[in-house]
Structure 1
């Protein structure tokens, strides 16, 4: 269990594997729509996660996603295509999560931001409207643009905006009339060779840690009170020294602002100091008076001639 950092400050057991923070369902829908989110206990058992879609093995951040009530995340196009392949007479219980075999349709008595967002998304397709008990609609198919296969290009320098190689540009330039004048290109410097970016998308990405997680989203205001200190997520689970609390206490008190004392507080402070000084003066005079009495010969009974000390 943990406390979400949003202004609602709700206690939750959901944990974002990418940002390593506790999140409630409101923040999950608003700010972590494409993050891997599961329970905090699962993160303690195994913090590894797969940032790709389980159906197409493409990163989740590249396409539109949808989250089921079991908090598993998929591309909406992949999930829609998989469910549309089932027979039309499939019962609602037959539509299951590809990962955990849980129900795709949220229960009718389940309320929350995740369930509401899932119902709104499912209401846009006919196979889901039949499972939700809604009338069918005319679907408008809007095909998503296919990602460009970059494995066909050896380097990006030969790729132009119109999709024509650089060779065609050179051919068209040579066919132009000579009176236009050709501007000579400066020779390339041999000391700084041109670098090209080659992206290979044929091999699927392995299951690894996210090497560079995105910036942690913090919905709290930046104007914090002087007594509060920032909760750094990188140091949250690091082992702390035994006397670390003492150094933190001294640091917080040294950095806090000192408010001026009021007139009543000043009077009370002066009265307390005067009382302490008076008690110290009494103790000092008592000690000095006792020392003077011990060394006074008139108070010594053995020196008094009227007092005889001896056997009777």
Structure 2
């Protein structure tokens, strides 16, 4: 178990292998969509990882990815092609993760942001809509074809529109906003509900130990430097109570001196009438009269 560093400060057992930090499901969806994420206990057992798609052996970052409820990440086009190769009579339970053989479709009673994003992604293809219990789409475009059409439309844009847009941009006021990731979800009624996940920028305090150095062995100089910083901070915090500290120290010193004097006098009184300590009663000591 660990504490996520996002403003929500949620307790989680998921760990990002690439950034070496505990992540909650909110951060997985917004800030780590293509990172290798598994449980922290598994990372302690084996910290080696390979950020590639198992289906095509290419880097995850080069294409659009989808994360299953088992937290394994694949290219969406590769996963779609992998599922389309299965027979049409395949039951929903037959669509499993290529890595761990866990079901692709999330349970209906699972409340999870990762599961919500996965459902929204699967709702765009007919083979997945059957497993989700949704009606089939009348027209379906494969992910590869959709990307090809998008690129073709952007390349064939009229030059006049581009020039006009360039002219208008000189007089326009540009407002820079924080990046917002929007996901659309299709229900059985055909309506689309949009869910917005706002990206969270983590603010790192001064003197904070970076995650890459978190699990490295610290030298004695680094430890001594951190100890000096902690003592200086404590002194700054206790500067207002300096007179009271000196007053308590003086009172304690006076009490200690008084106790020493009392015990010394009590010791002398206890041996004052002891005949063994009386030189006149000792036969080996001769006192001339």
Where on the TM-score scale, by shorter chain, does this alignment land: which range?
0.5 to 0.7
CA distance in 2, matches of 1:129, 1:242: 59
Q: Check 1:121–1:275 CA distance in 2 against 1; reply closer, same or farther (3 A cut).
A: closer
Q: How far apart are residue 29 of structure 1 and its match?
A: 0.8
Instruction: Specify the structure having the higher radius of gyration (Cα).
Output: 1
Q: Check 1:273–1:77 CA distance in 2 against 1; reply closer, same or farther (3 A cut).
A: same
- List aligned pairs for 1:153-172, cutoff 5 A: none
Greater helix percent: which structure?
Answer: 2
CA distance in 1, matches of 2:49, 2:138: 38
Matched, 1:144 2:147: yes
Answer yes or no: is the 8 Å Cα contact 2:16–2:23 preserved in 1. yes
Between 1 and 2, higher relative CO (CA 8 Å, sep ≥ 6) is seen in: 1
CA distance in 2, matches of 1:93, 1:278: 80
Q: How far apart are residue 53 of structure 1 and its match?
A: 0.9
2:39 counterpart residue number: 39
TM-score of the pair, normalised by structure 1: 0.58
Q: How far apart are residue 129 of structure 1 and its match?
A: 0.8
Answer yes or no: is the 8 Å Cα contact 1:15–1:38 preserved in 2. yes
Matched, 1:233 2:207: no
2:160 counterpart residue number: none
- Could you say what secondary structure the match of 2:100 adopts? coil
Q: Check 1:258–1:65 CA distance in 2 against 1; reply closer, same or farther (3 A cut).
A: same
Matched, 1:130 2:130: yes
Answer yes or no: is the 8 Å Cα contact 2:31–2:200 preserved in 1. no
Q: How far apart are residue 219 of structure 1 and its match?
A: 4.4
- Could you say what secondary structure the match of 1:143 adopts? helix
Provide the aligned C-alpha RMSD in A: 4.0
Q: Check 1:250–1:80 CA distance in 2 against 1; reply closer, same or farther (3 A cut).
A: same
Q: Check 1:280–1:121 CA distance in 2 against 1; reply closer, same or farther (3 A cut).
A: same
Q: How far apart are residue 237 of structure 1 and its match?
A: 1.7
Matched, 1:251 2:229: yes
Provide the aligned length of Structure 1 versus Structure 2.
Answer: 220
Extract unaligned runs of 5+ from structure 2: 150-154, 156-198, 265-285
Extract unaligned runs of 5+ from structure 1: 147-160, 162-216, 288-308
TM-score of the pair, normalised by structure 2: 0.62
